Amino acid sequence: MRNILKLTAVLLMISIIHISIPMQVYGYDKGKVPEYVKIGLRYAESATPMISILGKGGLELGNDIGGGFNSMFSFLGNDEIIVRKDSFFMGFNGSFIEYQYDEQRDSNNSMIQGPIHVQIGPQFSTREEAQAFLSNLAYTGNKPYLSFEGSWQVWTGMFTSLTSAQSAMEAIRSTFPELELKVIPQNNMRIQILSSAGDVLCMLNLGETEYYFKSTTSTPIKVDGKNFRGDIGIKRYNDSDLTIINRLLLEEYLYSVVPKEMSGTWPLEAQKAQAVAARNYAIQNLGIHKQYGFDLCATSHCQVYGGFDSEHETSRKAVDETRGKFLTYKGNLVTPFYHSNSGGHTENSENIWSTPIDYLKGVNDPFSVGAPNDTWTYVMSKDQIQDLLNSKQLSVGELNGVQVTAYSDFGRVLKLELSGSADKKILEKEKVRSIFGYNNIKSTWFTVSTDASAIVITGNASEPQQISSSDFFVVTADGTEQMNGGLNQMVVFNGIDLKNISFNAQQYVFTGKGWGHGLGMSQWGAKKMAEEGYTYDQILTYYYTGTQIE
């Protein structure tokens, strides 16, 4: 039996660190599966002040009323338009950038467009009335445009200051003394819509209403160069820039998710398994981002979604051939966690997080062996580990040792002890990967060795053992004595070669298997199973114990 290096340390305090994940099981009801989903393309920190948008043949902008779409603005042709928040922008390299305006410095800079406008005439209850007024307005200044702020209005200008807006308003009054005029200040809920040349087409106060761009030809809509099926929604929140939402059919959403989560060139049956897993996951997590007005995001936080450009013919076929199919356990939808490579055996959920889940039990997985990352090695120096722990507020002083103190029955780490001159920390389960990095420690199925250990055969052992240099004893004239830990290194002769062994570990080697948490389906294992003739339902029920396809 091999023993992992143990170094003596003074135990001042033990900190137990662990993570858990909430698990929920929902009743299975096909009638409640939504036809459409809303995917957040940009929100919160990823929100941007401006986007470009293009619909081949034209776009309509409006909202849903009474089960139908209420078109408010039309943008015909194949010209790109710019949608941006009501703010300061400056022309730059044929486009625009948001600008930090300073009135004293920038008041004479004609390249800057601002968020202050002038209303010309009264408010109107219909777009047709406002459009008729605009068409008959013989105004030769800044081209007027329609704006909707709960009522229809005609505005002009994108002024950078109240002073410049008031000057423009007085000039208009001299020409149209009978008209109602009003300066319109900046509003955080308003968007500006411009031509690619920077001419205002219209403005819209979003308020709490959901507004969407629709293609007039049912073709994908291009947002900043990327194509998306369905509709593109715009929302404004006071604490962020533009929130961009893609509303589309659930099945069309999966067209993009499957090849982003699994290669579109892989066997059809493997992708069908991925399609069912992705469908389950989407339904189980609908509304996770409801505070931002959409169901799921487009990143790995939910499922990676790349839009129309990421689709693959085989992936679309996989989705179509499993349309309406779900993975269930005792009649309930399961949450089908999956990972890249199990390394040869999957794990029980309680050994990765904290909650036992009946359908997430470890199974032997020979299908993953031989695939990329079925084994891996990661090396860190003592100083690197100390610096890492310090940066995570987990300092132990001078590092004395790193050792696994508890394994699961299938070999994954349950507790990793980091001991030092001042403290001792214990990382549990997936917390190890979150601290050391998910791309560094690819799974919790690993062992730790150091440059202060050696593999020897002792007189009472039938197998080689890995032992610490601090555990060595020597025979002297006065008897057997333990080696002096104050030495820097010693030399061991194995009968053939001499080997230097350090007394104080300076390097730690993590040797592991697999990539990912190890729960549920191994994607590389699914690929191998498909190549060997297994069907998608056989793949899924193999990795998710006790489940069935409905």
Dump pLDDT digits (tens) for 415-466. 999 999 999 999 999 999 999 999 999 999 999 999 886 555 555 555 555 5
Hey, where are the domains in the chain?
29-37+240-325, 41-228, 453-504
Strands 338-339 and 521-522 come out as parallel
Of the chain, the percentage scoring pLDDT greater than 90 comes to 78
The per-residue pLDDT of the chain, averaged, comes to 89
- What's the whole-number mean pLDDT along residues 330-351? 96
47 has a pLDDT exceeding 70: yes
Q: What phi and psi, each to the nearest 5 degrees, are found at residue 433? A: -70, -35
The reported pLDDT for the residue numbered 205 is: 97
91 has a pLDDT exceeding 90: no
Assign 103 a pLDDT band (cuts: 50, 70, 90).
confident
Q: Which two tokens stand for residue 119?
A: 């209303």
- What's the whole-number mean pLDDT along residues 20-33? 56
**If you ran DSSP here, which 8-state letter would residue 122 be given?**
-
The reported pLDDT for the residue numbered 15 is: 34
Closest to 199 measured CA to CA, from 96, 105, 287: 96
467/48: higher pLDDT: 48
348 has a pLDDT exceeding 60: yes
10 has a pLDDT exceeding 70: no
- CA–CA gap between residue 405 and residue 413 (Å, rounded): 8
Closest to 299 measured CA to CA, from 260, 243, 273: 260
Q: What is the rounded radius of gyration, in angstroms, for the C-alpha atoms of the chain?
A: 32
- Return the exposure string of 363-382: e unless at least 16 CB atoms fall within 10 Å of the residue's CB, then b: bebebbbebebbbbebebeb
The reported pLDDT for the residue numbered 207 is: 93
- What's the whole-number mean pLDDT along residues 42-48? 94
Edge-to-edge order in the sheet of strand 58-65: 68-76, 58-65, 211-215, 231-236, 242-249, 36-42, 296-297
Single-letter amino acid, residue 376: W
Closest to 59 measured CA to CA, from 230, 276, 204, 241: 230
Dump pLDDT digits (tens) for 498-536. 666 566 789 999 999 999 999 999 999 999 999 999 999
The reported pLDDT for the residue numbered 278 is: 97
- Decide: helix, strand or coil at residue 429: coil
20 has a pLDDT exceeding 50: no
- Between 154-163, 182-191, 476-485, the lowest mean confidence (pLDDT) is in 476-485
- What's the whole-number mean pLDDT along residues 60-64? 96
- CA–CA gap between residue 30 and residue 34 (Å, rounded): 9
Closest to 194 measured CA to CA, from 298, 52, 19, 88: 52
- What's the whole-number mean pLDDT along residues 12-27? 39
- CA–CA gap between residue 304 and residue 310 (Å, rounded): 10
- CA–CA gap between residue 464 and residue 454 (Å, rounded): 10
- What's the whole-number mean pLDDT along residues 269-279? 98
Single-letter amino acid, residue 379: V
The reported pLDDT for the residue numbered 451 is: 86
- CA–CA gap between residue 187 and residue 224 (Å, rounded): 24
- Between 27-41, 143-157, 192-206, 240-254, the lowest mean confidence (pLDDT) is in 27-41
138/54: higher pLDDT: 54
